[in-house]
A and B are shown apart, each in its own frame.
Chain A
Amino acid sequence: MIADIGLITLTLGFVLALYAVGASLYGGWRGQWKWVESARNAVLLVFGLLTISVLAVVYSLIRLDLSVAYVTEVSSRATSLFLRITALWGGQRGSLLFWSWLMAGFVAAVSLRKWESDRTLMPYVIAVATLTTSFFIFVVTFFANPFARVWHIPGTNEVVKAVFPPPGAERFVPVDGQGLNPLLRHFGMIGHPPTSYIGFTGFVIPYSFAIAALITGEARKDAWLRTTRRWTLVAWLFLSIGLLLGGRWAYDVLGWGGFWGWDPVENAMLMPWLTGTAFLHSVMITEKRGMLKVWSVVLIILTYILVVFGTFITRTGLVSSVHAFARSSLSMPFFIFIGLMLLGSLTLLMKRLDTLKSDHELESFVSREAVFLLQNMLFVAITVAVFWGTVFPMISELITGDRITVGPPYFNKVTGPMFAALVLLMGVAPLFAWRRQAARTLGKALWAPFVVAVLFAVALGIRYHMHPAAVFGIWLISFVALTTLLEFWKGMRARMSARKEDPLTALARLITRNRRRYGGYIVHLAVCLMALAVIGDAYFKQETQAPLRIGETLTLNGYTIRFDGLREYLGSDGREVLEAEISLFKDGEFVRVLRPRRDYFIVQQQPVTIPAVHTTFAADVYVLLVGWEEITATSATFKMYWNPLIIWMWTGGILLIIGTLIAMWPDRMALGDVSYVLRPTTTQPQPSAGG
């Protein structure tokens, strides 16, 4: 019953979304505000209708309505209330609906802005944004409907999942569902889909503004960039959080001691993040100097297409992956949609190239503009390399007939040097002046951090017998961190002497008065911390393994574990837990008890190995229970990792969130910018009616 309501609102939402596209296009074209206003109302209603659909799915999941196919796929009697709710994004049908709903939410939110400044753009923004939203609603409705039922044709042994019953079929209600994929029951995987989906869908706003600006010729003025800056930052922030949570999940659940495996699904998320980051930087040049306009537009188009490509990859299983998503009938619609979007966006860009002329020429290679351009190129180059590696099996099969893959070593080798170059630019770029920079003053500003970083890295390298690449990495990170910190120091010192402020006040005011700039620098520092974790992971990681009897020990890099015993008990959510107790010693001193375990999910017949981790600022000790003596339970085999500097990935992540929040915090509460009434002063579009 409730599911049927959800089905009806979903279908209505689809129809209404199409109407909104048509009405806003017509209204924008003819300058008829009542049509635009009607489209806007339709957009709000679409969001309302999809909200009902989402609630209907959640309700069916909570009540465990097993006649609904999606419920049987992701929920079961043993599933707890919390996991039943999160099961909304635990499978394909639900997550695509959730995705559409989020996107409709973004479109609704942007349509509630005060329109005075963007009156010309808004009809087309609504049209473009709603068009892509309706594609997703279309896919949900016709290809992955979460309200599909389970049907049984009498006399056969088959069940069919479909919205409408096949001829002669009867409704079939299974005794229990399959439950949520056990691997997804982790805070990282609970939070990863919603945050990454918010990030993904959020890019619809800058993309729609860019396309609207091209359509109307408003790209000449760069107003669309200023309007969308904050939206882009929100999307980027959530995408970053999604990536971090995904990495944390891999570290905690997949049990190989790492956080990034260059899996196609990870790459699919990384690529729009890379181009999105490039976009965030190129718009600064476009805003300040009226340059790199084509870059900015290309980057946002690319980002959005990669977003859709990412969903395509994750949701269709086109590229084989550790993620358990099956190949499905979704490929075709996605393929066509991506093709059309790419073609349409680029054609439009070509036709409007004249509106994107640079206001200035690049004057010197030693200038901030040039450094930003180089940075943009590097981001795009990394994206191309990752894309190439991800789709290479398909390309090679098309060309040579052989399916050839490239593994993680390819990605490390290609992207490593480019990421290093990016980190370097990140450190020096703020010191470059606009237009041209005298090499001499640059040298003056940089030599001290350069020398300090060299001494530091070489000393560490000798002390710990490091690989040259690791020494270089440490030099790079400390150099960049120093130059960035010096920027803070210079700003503070200026305030302290000019305004007689004490250091803390000076620092606080420096940041709060220039939020965009110093928020950005905080993000740069965060990236340094995360790079540290990457170096630790790449060069210093150690591992060992051994079978231990009770009382026996295993030592790795100063840490010793002693096996104290095994116990078995029934855990929550229908799992049997086998837990080992081990004592951890550092240099002979007792530190704590660790409990690595193996959860066995009974319904799914799925074991999940949960590592026990002892975290310090220097390194994580990561222990896995990988085997045991079944009958006597007196011996067990452990795999032990020493993962240095991992904690800096997560602390860096938190700092990145803080920095981004500072950079995007509005100057005043933006509530005044929200208005429902579209009071057109005239029936003609008014491009520059200021509010």
Chain B
Amino acid sequence: MAVETSTRPYVGVSSQRFKFLLGTLVILLAVGYLIFTATQENAQYYLTVEELYARAEAGTLGDRMIRVSGAVVGETIRYNPQTLELTFTIAHMPGDPDEIDKAGGLGAAIQAAVNNPDAPRLQIYYVGPKPDLLRPEAAAIVTGRLGEDGIFYAEEVLFKCPTRYDEGPLPNSPAEG
């Protein structure tokens, strides 16, 4: 059965073990370095509209790509099917999950954001197929850069429609039905 091989006087085992530890260390360092540099190169701020403006004013946006989340204001969606130019405006909504919970869930937080005329807004410009999930009062996550003209030029847009699944209100509330 299992004998304590390491205590056996066996030439080479300890140097073998040392080499093994060294090899492991080298691999760990290489992997760590890879993760570290890749994180540095690809880190993007993930901001709310308010935070974006605060940083823009303070001049701490940097020249990296930025990710911004907000609520899509329905009547602002414009799409040109010829050029695939898409513009819409997002309104500030809290990014902190606890604040969203306090507002009564994502759906309610979006509603509040869109209906609040004082909430900071950001115009988004994007070229590409109109995403299926883009609709009034969707949650948007856009990745791109803030232009000099105050328009956010997005390279990637993602949408979530939290109001419709799982926690959503029913299609006909009792007041109507």
What is the interface of chain A, defined by CB distance below 8 A to chain B? 72-73, 91-93, 150, 152, 157, 159, 172, 174-178, 181, 183, 220, 255, 290, 320, 322, 324-328, 357-365, 374, 377, 381, 384-385, 388-389, 392-393, 396, 402-407, 409-410, 413-414, 417-418, 545, 547, 603-609, 624, 626-629, 635-637, 639
B141 within 8 A of A: yes
Instruction: Establish whether residues A607 and B16, one from each chain, have CB atoms under 8 Å apart when the complex forms.
Output: no
* A-chain residues with CB within 8 Å of residue B106 when the two chains form the complex: 326-327
CB distance from A475 to the nearest CB of B (A): 21
The total number of A-B Cβ pairs within 8 Å is 181
Given A406-B39, A627-B81, residue A157 in contact with residue B175 (CB < 8 A)? yes
Whose C-beta in chain B lies nearest to the C-beta of A91? B166
With beta carbons under 8 angstroms apart, the residue of A176, A362, A409 that contacts B171 is A176
Given A608-B132, A639-B129, residue A381 in contact with residue B27 (CB < 8 A)? yes
Given A181-B165, A326-B105, residue A159 in contact with residue B174 (CB < 8 A)? yes
Instruction: Establish whether residues A388 and B39, one from each chain, have CB atoms under 8 Å apart when the complex forms.
Output: yes
B75 within 8 A of A: no
Given A361-B6, A384-B35, residue A73 in contact with residue B168 (CB < 8 A)? yes
B120-169: which have CB < 8 Å to A?
128-130, 132-133, 135, 141, 143, 156, 158, 160-162, 164-169
Instruction: Establish whether residues B167 and A410, one from each chain, have CB atoms under 8 Å apart when the complex forms.
Output: no
Instruction: Establish whether residues B132 and A414, one from each chain, have CB atoms under 8 Å apart when the complex forms.
Output: no
Instruction: Establish whether residues A637 and B81, one from each chain, have CB atoms under 8 Å apart when the complex forms.
Output: yes
Instruction: Establish whether residues B38 and A178, one from each chain, have CB atoms under 8 Å apart when the complex forms.
Output: no
Scoring B20, B31, B170 by chain A CB atoms within 10 A of each residue's CB, the highest score goes to: B170
Instruction: Establish whether residues A174 and B177, one from each chain, have CB atoms under 8 Å apart when the complex forms.
Output: yes
Interchain residue pairs with CB less than 8 A apart (11): A73-B166, A159-B174, A174-B177, A175-B172, A177-B171, A290-B2, A328-B167, A361-B13, A362-B20, A388-B39, A626-B128
Instruction: Establish whether residues B2 and A157, one from each chain, have CB atoms under 8 Å apart when the complex forms.
Output: no
Instruction: Establish whether residues B171 and A174, one from each chain, have CB atoms under 8 Å apart when the complex forms.
Output: yes
With beta carbons under 8 angstroms apart, the residue of A159, A176, A410 that contacts B169 is A159
Interface code B36-71, partner A: CB below 8 Å = 1, 0 otherwise? 001101111111000000000000000001010100
Whose C-beta in chain A lies nearest to the C-beta of B20? A362
Instruction: Establish whether residues A322 and B165, one from each chain, have CB atoms under 8 Å apart when the complex forms.
Output: no
Instruction: Establish whether residues A178 and B164, one from each chain, have CB atoms under 8 Å apart when the complex forms.
Output: yes
B100 within 8 A of A: yes
CB distance from B71 to the nearest CB of A (A): 14
Whose C-beta in chain B lies nearest to the C-beta of A409? B42
B4 within 8 A of A: yes
* B-chain residues with CB within 8 Å of residue A626 when the two chains form the complex: 81, 84, 128-130
* B-chain residues with CB within 8 Å of residue A605 when the two chains form the complex: 135
Instruction: Establish whether residues B5 and A361, one from each chain, have CB atoms under 8 Å apart when the complex forms.
Output: yes
* A-chain residues with CB within 8 Å of residue B105 when the two chains form the complex: 326
Instruction: Establish whether residues A393 and B46, one from each chain, have CB atoms under 8 Å apart when the complex forms.
Output: yes
With beta carbons under 8 angstroms apart, the residue of B46, B65, B79 that contacts A403 is B46
Instruction: Establish whether residues B41 and A409, one from each chain, have CB atoms under 8 Å apart when the complex forms.
Output: yes
Instruction: Establish whether residues B172 and A176, one from each chain, have CB atoms under 8 Å apart when the complex forms.
Output: yes
Other A-B pairs beyond A324-B162, A403-B46, A409-B41, 19, CB < 8 Å: A72-B170, A92-B166, A157-B175, A159-B174, A178-B170, A326-B162, A326-B166, A358-B2, A361-B5, A361-B10, A365-B20, A381-B27, A385-B35, A404-B44, A406-B43, A606-B133, A609-B129, A626-B129, A637-B84
Q: How far is the CA of A170 from the CA of B82 in the complex (A)?
A: 52
* B-chain residues with CB within 8 Å of residue A362 when the two chains form the complex: 16, 20
* A-chain residues with CB within 8 Å of residue B39 when the two chains form the complex: 388-389, 392, 406, 410
* B-chain residues with CB within 8 Å of residue A417 when the two chains form the complex: 34
Instruction: Establish whether residues A410 and B2, one from each chain, have CB atoms under 8 Å apart when the complex forms.
Output: no
Instruction: Establish whether residues A385 and B34, one from each chain, have CB atoms under 8 Å apart when the complex forms.
Output: yes
* B-chain residues with CB within 8 Å of residue A73 when the two chains form the complex: 165-166, 168
Given A404-B46, A407-B42, A626-B84, residue A359 in contact with residue B166 (CB < 8 A)? no
Instruction: Establish whether residues A327 and B100, one from each chain, have CB atoms under 8 Å apart when the complex forms.
Output: yes
* A-chain residues with CB within 8 Å of residue B46 when the two chains form the complex: 393, 402-405
With beta carbons under 8 angstroms apart, the residue of B38, B79, B164, B165 that contacts A413 is B38
